[in-house]
Amino acid sequence: MDTGVAVRIKDIDDTPSLPMTGAAYLPGVAYDEMIAKGGDVRAHYAALQSRISTLGAGELADRQRMLERSFLLQGITFTVYGADSATERIIPTDLFPRILPAKEWAKIEAGLTQRLQALNMFLADIYGEQQILMDGVVPRELVLGAPSYRREMQNVYVPHKAYANVCGSDLIRGQDGEFAVLEDNLRVPSGVSYMLANRDASKRTFPGAYREAGVRPVERYPDLLLATLKSMSADWRSNPQVVVLTPGVYNSAYYEHAYLARLMGVPLVEGRDLVVHDNMVYMRTTTGLRRVDVIYRRVDDDFIDPLAFRRDSSLGAAGLFNAYRAGNVVMCNAPGTGVADDKAVYAFVPDIIRYYLGEDAILPNIETFLCREPAQLSHVLANLDKLVVKAVGASGGYGMLIGPHASAKERAEFADALKADPANYIAQPTIQLSTAPCLVDGRIEPRHVDLRPFILSGEKTVVTPGALTRVALKRGSLVVNSSQGGGSKDTWVLAEEAPSNGAGGLG
């Protein structure tokens, strides 16, 4: 008999209560994920919205607390070092899921697959024949002069030509409701553990609405990742040893590294656990040295091997890169993939897709001005108050000017920096990111969100039907990076048709 469980779920999800009073949800000018222009609730949000509207403010607060507690318990935290003690904080997490209907997802999935395919072909080309540079599709100095271009990778054999095995692209939805790609992350993208943890949490906070909606599962991510990593190893190694390489426990994404290693059932190693001998990589185990075949490395290019890259790095292993070149070990992602997510190369991605695949990009780019071009620079300087300007080499929301939100003084300073080193900057129009309902100080309010889906590429390319939705928690803010006070929420990708599994009545 399963009734005990059913009753419990009902208790959590269906306690009768007063609806939220005096808290009308009023989206602004941006596209809202839940409410359409006319004020009607979008069809795919109907179930959740009716669920929320029956909950009182107290109950919502209770659920939010329950959610935060579950993160704290699991240790999904980062440490804030204070004056005399260290306290642990959780990444802010919002309890309302963001919902995407099947049709929209189908387009995203096709677009991301196409994009990553083209980018992998681009990487194989520039680290090989460099045909695309000879044909003048992408300026030669833009690629070869980028700091993320690794000359050491020239003519290295990469199985299946899959350079970027794990990719997390940032998508945003503009005022017209269409998704566009803001950024490709091909180096060591993180956040997938939050996608999985958020899902775990939202199944507990809204079990009824979850069941009714027919949400596609994301839980297979770890085994798909393992299959992708194994597909990268040499054929003659019958049972390849996969490891996750982490910079260590003080890294802010350490939780994720341990989480993925645990769910894949593979060792979580640090640089000091690895030994390279005769171009073979071994790990130090209790029973001696053991050969390593595939390294899912969560350490940046610069730090993986003090002999090949930064000499002062102690996070990698000496000789690792030579072992890689010799084909005795595979690193995922390959070193040097960063050149394809460079902010200046980004502007050429639609051309890259057309060049290799002969297709138009399914997901458009954001219009981008390259300040290296004198004509575009003068346009940018004349319109600084309307544009977002980004430093090419920076990430995480640093080195960025949001024109409309900046003061005249900040704009003047940025203009000087632009003129001093134009090649280091790009500019894009300020996009009103779409908004989604969030619980802020006990009220449901619209907040700007983006979308980071995760794409795996080895022998085949797979897009996990889910994503991390990042939230700018400050009212009106457009910056969603967690280093800049952003939070996250679960993302429900709906199946084609909601299943009628007869579980109705539990709400």
Partner 1 sequence: MMLARVADSLYWLGRYMERAEHLSRLSSVMLNATLDQTDAGAQAVWIALSAVGKTEIGAVAPFEAARSLVLDRSDHNSVVSSLARARENARQVRDQITTETWERLNLLYLKVTDEGAGREFADGSANFLHDVISDVHLFKGAADATMSHGESWRFMMVGMYLERAQLVSSLLEVCFAEGPGREINDHIALVSLLRMACALEPYLRVYTAEIEPRHILEFLVFDEDFPRSIRFVTSRIEEHLAVLARHTEANGRTGPERLAGRLKARLQFADLDELQAQGASALLTTVVNECSRIHEAIYETFVAYPLEMRLPA
The footprint of partner 1 (CB under 8 A) covers 72-75, 85, 88, 249, 254-255, 258-259, 261-262, 267-270, 272-273, 275, 277-278, 280, 283-290
Question: Judged by CB, which is closer to partner 1: 96, or 255?
Answer: 255
Largest CA distance in the chain: 74
CB closer to partner 1, 234 vs 412: 234
Nearer Cβ to partner 1 (88/421):
88
Select 183 or 293, whichever has its Cβ closest to partner 1: 293
Cα gap 125→185, rounded to integer Å: 19
Nearer of residues 255 and 414 to partner 1, judged by Cβ: 255
Helix (H) or strand (E) holding 387: strand 387-391
> 372 Cβ partners below 8 Å, 6+ apart?
142, 344, 422, 423
Min separation Cβ 194 and partner 1, Å:
16
Round the CA-based radius of gyration of the chain to a whole number and report it. Answer: 24
Residue 296 has which token pair?
A: 């899912």
Interhelix angle 102-126/349-357, nearest 10 degrees: 80
CB of 207 closer than 8 Å to CB of 12: yes
Looking at the Cβ atoms of 220 and 277, the one nearer to partner 1 is 277
Residues 6+ apart with CB under 8 A from 315: 247, 248, 270, 271, 299, 303, 304
Smaller CB separation from partner 1, 289 or 357: 289
Nearest to 411 by CA among 377, 378, 388: 388
Query: From the CB of residue 453, how many other CB atoms can be counted at a distance below 10 Å?
Result: 25
The three-class DSSP label of residue 52 is helix
Give the Cα separation of 321 and 335 in Å (integer).
9
Least distance to partner 1 from the beta carbon of 490, Å? 19
Between the alpha carbon of residue 262 and those of residues 243, 254, 255, the distances in Å are: 11, 12, 11
CB 77 → partner 1: shortest distance, Å?
Answer: 9
The smaller minimum CB distance to partner 1, of residues 88 and 385, is found at 88
For residues 22 and 288, which CB has a smaller minimum distance to partner 1 in the complex? 288
CA distances to 117, 160, 195, 231 from 460, in Å: 10, 9, 22, 9
In whole angstroms, what is the distance from residue 34 CA to residue 44 CA?
8
Nearer to partner 1, 284 or 460 (CB): 284
Smallest distance, partner 1 to C-beta of residue 202, A:
18
Kindly list the strands in the beta sheet with 268-269, ordered across the sheet, starting from the edge strand earlier in the chain.
268-269, 242-245, 294-297, 330-332
Secondary structure (DSSP) of 202-265: HHHHSHHHHHHHTBPP-TTHHHHHHHHHHHTS-TT-SS--EEEE-S-TTSTTHHHHHHHHHHHT
Task: Choose between 258 and 415: whose C-beta lies nearer to partner 1.
Answer: 258
Query: How far is it, in rounded angstroms, from Cα 418 to Cα 379?
Result: 12
